[in-house]
Structure 1
Amino acid sequence: MKKILVTGGLGFIGSHTVVELQNTGFEVIIIDDLSNSSIDVLENITKITGTQPAFHNIDLRIKKDVKNFFDTNKIDGIIHFAAFKAVGESVQNPLDYYENNIGSLVYLLQEMRDRNLDNFIFSSSCTVYGQADELPITENAPTKPAESPYGNTKQIGEEIIRDTCKANSLNAIALRYFNPIGAHDSVHIGELPLGVPQNLIPYVTQTAAGIREQLSVFGDDYDTADGTAIRDYIHVVDLAKAHIAALQRLLEKNNKTSFEFFNVGTGKGSSVLEVIKAFENATDQKLNYKIVGRREGDITAAYADTTIANKELNWKTEKTLEEALNSSWEWQKKQL
């Protein structure tokens, strides 16, 4: 049984990926510092799969703790989620983002180099494209100067991994996510941001639940059909399964180069107002929202061309926007 380390494995995407890894037959070790997650997620993963993953509470910014982990654990691959991830917050606190997102990546890769470990999957982002010149966005689209420090950490992260793959025997895949939403069908795990949500969907569900008084729609003067920004919203379970496909590609040595990257989305863009309408239709909940000014760091539109991921990873999305939004609402109700 292959042993896979999942950093940030109690977070939103990480926890869903741990479930899919276990369901596929992998043994999982989780590292998480609980800075934006809860230890309760460990028990909830166990409820779904019947197996409790090994767990280590480690801050990956502390180099000696990272080394100690690798001294005492043998692993066959890493899926690296652990990172700060809010665009707006990164604009306000850039140094925290660079220290956490870049430092932890470097320390992991150093341990892999020193121990001749292979198979690394990086949680990247469509933010590396900035505002793309053409839509949908293909992997051939150039990366542009990042619109936020968060986006820049993903660009720099990919560059660090690419350089490491050239210099050492590392094989790596970066998955460039679009916008993950939804919750597991069991409703045992889902997106549970600490404090005020930075992403659209948790704010939508918290507004519908009465936790937030009103949803702010940031800008209605974008160059889109209804003036609101467009994103590609992918169900988190579909996204988790993309990680399994990428991991198996590396383990089976089917990768074509030592560093590969793939867009992971649905291939369909939805505006903020379209998402609000879809949520209301899927859940029979009316949302109290208002249009406010644009948010710094946001781009007009981003949605994926997933042709290459579909072909190379033998993967595609299965769940609809409405299914994703409904599962988010079911998860939110369980938290009340």
Structure 2
Amino acid sequence: MKILVTGGTGYIGSHTVLSLQEAGHDVVVIDNLVNSSEESLRRVAELSGKTAEFHNVDLVDEAAVEGVFAAHAIDAVIHFAGLKAVGESVREPLKYYYNNLVGTLNLIRVMDRHDVRSIVFSSSATVYGEHNPIPYVEKMEIGANNPYGRTKEQIEDILADLGAADSRWHIALLRYFNPVGAHPSGRIGEDPQGIPNNLVPFIAQVAVGRRDKLMVFGGDYDTPDGTCLRDYIHVVDLAEGHVAALNHVADRPGVYRWNLGSGKGSSVLEVLRSFEKAVGQPIPYEVTGRRAGDLPAFWADATSALADLSWSTTKTVDQMCEDHWRWQKNNPLGYSA
């Protein structure tokens, strides 16, 4: 099939482009490069031996999106593109609602006009909010607690309503947890712009000398070592989950929801120790006060993905850290090196 990947130069997007190509698909990528680099696709082409056609297009420009669909016979879409920093979304909610919602509406309107009605949407575990018990199960009532999460929730609602109104649509909503790691080649990986928002890329930048120390937010939670527990998933496993979902919905109309996670929680200090093993030396850190909005613990119930997609995670936290460190060590300044 010919698959359009929005946000395909980003961290998860680029790994998914590679997985799609390895599965025999042709790939077209849309990205506005606001938080990513086209260099990722050049390196994906090195690894796969195939070139993804790239269009520097912003989804909020509906005419430009229309042009891409007019130029290619697209069979299905995997939709990653969107702003994704929780803290920034609290400070600039209008920016997030406009970019993420208008961009998605433009995309699915253009898809509909071109009779392309198969989409895998990159949602997030943030839609579960603060009120649900763990582990998170797909049938739980959702209720995100920040503007970024609410854009994911609202896009899920839009797609679910579309699927209910028009039985020609094939829709997968993938709620995933904390993607880390990198392709084992060390050629593609996570390259956050500015200060990393997530734990593992921050640890990696400390390890490579770009930052002084890791700040651990809260050491007094009701968890085994007092630090937050999260469900970490290797980005290659996550990319394979997208391909599996795409294949599953290809001949099954309707709306499907799957958690993609490991089904277990790892603490901040456990991940730090794993990264230290990969690096071969201690990494400086300091435990400080809790960060507003952080939950003590959450992880996925991923049994539905196993049952429906025959998908489950294959890589350990140690492997995630080894691969992430290989990428960071080989590319200390990310793609700009």
TM-score with structure 1 length normalisation?
0.95
Q: Which SS does the other structure have where 2:276 is aligned?
A: helix
| Partner residue in 2 for 1:38 | 37
1:287 matched to 2:275: no
Correspondence for 2:295 among 299, 310, 314: 299
| Partner residue in 2 for 1:312 | 308
Specify every segment of 5 or more residues in structure 2 that has no aligned partner in the other structure, as ranges.
Answer: 333-337
Correspondence for 1:271 among 267, 270, 274: 267
Correspondence for 2:154 among 156, 160, 165: 156
Q: Bigger shift: 169-178 or 216-225?
A: 216-225
1-structure distance, mates of 2:301, 2:173: 16
Opposite residue 150 of structure 2, the aligned amino acid is N
Counterpart contact for 2:278–2:325, Cα < 8 Å: no
1-structure distance, mates of 2:66, 2:291: 39
Deviations 1:132-160 (A, max 9, x none): 5322211122212x221111111111001
Q: Which SS does the other structure have where 1:290 is aligned?
A: strand
Deviations 1:157-201 (A, max 9, x none): 100110111222211001101100000011110001111111111
Q: Bigger shift: 213-222 or 261-270?
A: 213-222
Equivalences for 1:60-139 in 2 at 5 Å?
A: 60-139=59-138
Opposite residue 257 of structure 2, the aligned amino acid is F
2-structure distance, mates of 1:155, 1:223: 28
| Partner residue in 2 for 1:326 | 322
2-structure distance, mates of 1:58, 1:74: 17
CA gap of 1:281–1:173, structure 2 versus 1, over 3 A, is same
Counterpart contact for 1:131–1:302, Cα < 8 Å: no
| Partner residue in 2 for 1:165 | 163
Q: Which SS does the other structure have where 1:248 is aligned?
A: helix
1-structure distance, mates of 2:219, 2:30: 40
1-structure distance, mates of 2:221, 2:94: 30
Q: What is the CA-CA distance between 1:76 and the residue it aligns to?
A: 0.3
| Partner residue in 1 for 2:335 | none
Q: Bigger shift: 179-188 or 63-72?
A: 63-72
Deviations 1:71-106 (A, max 9, x none): 222200000000111112211221111111111111
Deviations 1:284-310 (A, max 9, x none): 231111122222332221101111100
Q: Which SS does the other structure have where 1:22 is aligned?
A: helix
| Partner residue in 1 for 2:58 | 59
Q: Bigger shift: 325-334 or 298-307?
A: 298-307
Q: Which SS does the other structure have where 2:123 is aligned?
A: strand
Q: Bigger shift: 258-267 or 70-79?
A: 70-79
Q: What is the CA-CA distance between 1:320 and the residue it aligns to?
A: 0.6
1-structure distance, mates of 2:103, 2:72: 18
Specify every segment of 5 or more residues in structure 1 that has no aligned partner in the other structure, as ranges.
Answer: none
2-structure distance, mates of 1:208, 1:147: 32
2-structure distance, mates of 1:132, 1:316: 26
1-structure distance, mates of 2:101, 2:132: 28
Counterpart contact for 2:207–2:279, Cα < 8 Å: no
Q: Which SS does the other structure have where 1:107 is aligned?
A: helix
Q: Bigger shift: 53-62 or 164-173?
A: 164-173
Deviations 1:176-235 (A, max 9, x none): 011000000111100011111111111000001110011111222333222221110000
Q: Bigger shift: 87-96 or 172-181?
A: 87-96
Q: Which SS does the other structure have where 1:173 is aligned?
A: strand
Q: Which SS does the other structure have where 1:139 is aligned?
A: coil
Q: How many residues end up aligned between the 2 structures? A: 331
1-structure distance, mates of 2:282, 2:291: 24
1:245 matched to 2:241: no
| Partner residue in 1 for 2:257 | 261
| Partner residue in 2 for 1:4 | 3
| RMSD of equivalent CA atoms | 1.3
Opposite residue 184 of structure 2, the aligned amino acid is D
Counterpart contact for 1:126–1:178, Cα < 8 Å: yes
2-structure distance, mates of 1:39, 1:113: 28
2-structure distance, mates of 1:84, 1:299: 22
Percent pairwise identity? 47
1-structure distance, mates of 2:309, 2:61: 34
Opposite residue 49 of structure 2, the aligned amino acid is G
